[in-house]
Amino acid sequence: MEEQYVAVPFSLVGFFVTSRSVEESIRTDLTPEELEKLQDLLAQYLFTEGVRVALYPSVVPPDQAEEAVNELEEIVFGEEE
């Protein structure tokens, strides 16, 4: 029987305080290695073994949330093809 996986959106609710605009406050130079390390840390500390985490490191307006989830799904399920 083929093992089936499910992608479940989750969020960490928080805030940041800045005197600059949102666009100026979020790093745009995050490397793929840094993002992978952050994803691994969240998976290690928040979930049980075997759970993979994919992040979308930006502020996503509500009207773009579906697109962001589709991109995350591709990150999680597209790697092993």
Q: What's the pLDDT at 66?
A: 82
* Global pTM exceeds 0.75: no
pLDDT per position as a tens digit, 15-43: 778 899 878 888 888 898 998 999 999 99
Q: What's the pLDDT at 23?
A: 80
State the residue for tokens 């083929």.
2
The structural domains of the chain, with segments of one domain joined by +, span: 22-78
Q: Which of 11, 5, 15, 18 is nearest to 51 (CA)?
A: 5
Give the integer Cα–Cα distance in Å for 62 and 75. 20
